[in-house]
Amino acid sequence: MTPEPASPAGSQLDHARATTALPHHTLETVLAIRRWTKNLLSVRTNRSPAFRFTPGHYARLGLDGVDGKVVWRPFSVASAAHDEHLEFLAVLVPGGSFSNLLAKVREGEPIRVDKASYGFMTIDRFAPGRDLWLLASGTGLGPFLSILSEPATWQRYDNLIVVHSVRHACELAYRDEIAKIPHGELLAASPARLRYVPVVTREALVGALPARIPQLIEDGRLEQAAGVALDPRHSRIMVCGNPQMSRELRRQLTARGFRSNRRAAPGHVAFENYWTTPPL
Ligand SMILES: Cc1cc2nc3c(=O)[nH]c(=O)nc-3n(C[C@H](O)[C@H](O)[C@H](O)COP(=O)(O)OP(=O)(O)OC[C@H]3O[C@@H](n4cnc5c(N)ncnc54)[C@H](O)[C@@H]3O)c2cc1C
């Protein structure tokens, strides 16, 4: 069907809308950059008072390319919902369009932040449970930092288990900060217990488990290190980062009776993949 031509009145209205339309993002300033390794960094920006998010959500960040086009990418918010700033944990992917721009960003420079936040990996989507497992690979730790800094998380669960899997020990970002979380002003009175399980796959590190998370679940070492059993009656599990890890964990956990969250049916497991891989 051929569309109706727009009436002159309509086109004037459209023009008026286009010229008065508010941008969907705000321009913020990079306040601080913390380098964990050459390619792993935390970026702190100021936060528009209107920017709202639920811990576990992601924002969309935009950087201006040399050709004048803005490159947008999703990034999980790592800072607390009550913080006045926003913080993101980012990896610089060799040759990546956003990574190339981010590598050059300095403190004091502008960055665009979409006004909306997005995502489904939030604790309110789970069926009630006792233990919250946060399984991260690499920068997948980011949203879990935000979730762990939220008092509601500590009220809802008895045990919080954060598992961070990286290749090299130097990539265990926020290790000291995680140890301090339970002593924070808002959380110190909570009876919930936090367990931090570092996993380093490419070198030996005392105190860290030495294999990928699916392997550690398969052979029982993860439950042993956490001192908590994985059980669909009590465990709620978030998985974030590498899609290959997600795929393996989905298969494993489904076989053990865990069910993914659905829009109308709260479940036991939520997954967030940072990139896509072709189907096997
Ligand atoms: C919902 C969501 C949330 C995200 N949150 C974060 C975040 O908090 N921190 C973050 O660093 N990235 C995050 N990402 C990935 C991020 O949006 C970009 O893909 C990444 O910064 C690379 O962008 P690029 O343009 O440089 O390269 P792209 O062309 O977008 O990516 C190229 C390749 O880089 C690899 N890659 C992408 N992201 C990662 C990663 N995080 N770790 C390892 N390898 C990766 C993949 O192989 C991908 O195919 C998220 C993605 C999604 C979908």
What pLDDT digit, counting tens, does each position of 217-238 carry?
999 999 999 999 999 999 999 9
The per-residue pLDDT for 277 is 84
Name which of 65-69, 108-112, 168-172, 195-199 the model is least confident about.
65-69
Ligand 1 center from residue 275 Cα (angstroms): 6
Q: Residue 112's pLDDT is what? A: 98
Check pocket membership of 140 for ligand 1, CB cut-off 6 A. no
pLDDT of 4 > 70? The answer is no
Q: Name the fold adopted by 123-273.
A: Rossmann fold (3.40.50)
pLDDT at 13 over 50: no
Q: Is the pLDDT of residue 32 over 70?
A: yes
The per-residue pLDDT of the chain, averaged, comes to 92
Q: Burial, 151: exposed, middle or buried (Cβ in 10 Å; 0-12, 13-18, 19+)?
A: middle
Q: How far is the CA of 93 from the centre of ligand 1 (A)?
A: 7
For residues 263-277, average pLDDT: 93
> How is domain 25-114 classified at the CATH fold level?
Elongation Factor Tu (Ef-tu); domain 3 (2.40.30)
Per-residue confidence (pLDDT) for residue 18, from 0 to 100 = 46
Across the range 57-84, mean pLDDT stands at 97
pLDDT exceeds cutoff 80 at 197:
yes
Whether the pLDDT of residue 215 is over 50: the answer is: yes
130 exposed, middle or buried (CB, 10 Å; 0-12, 13-18, 19+)? middle
Longest dimension (CA), the chain: 73
- For residue 98 and ligand 1, the question of a CB distance below 6 A is answered with yes
Report the pLDDT value the prediction gives residue 124, as an integer from 0 to 100: 95
Q: Which two tokens stand for residue 179?
A: 């140890």
The domain segmentation of the chain, as residue ranges, is 25-114, 123-273
Q: Grade residue 160 by pLDDT with cuts at 50, 70 and 90.
A: very high
Ligand 1 touching residue 102 (CB < 6 A): no
Question: For position 20, what pLDDT does the model report?
Answer: 57
Dist CA 234 CA 126 (whole Å)? 11
Among 70, 73, 86, which is best to mutate for testing ligand 1, by the most ligand atoms less than 8 A from CB?
Answer: 73
Nearest atom of ligand 1 to the alpha carbon of 272: 1
Q: Which has more pLDDT, 255 or 264?
A: 255
Residue 249 pLDDT > 90, yes or no? Answer: yes
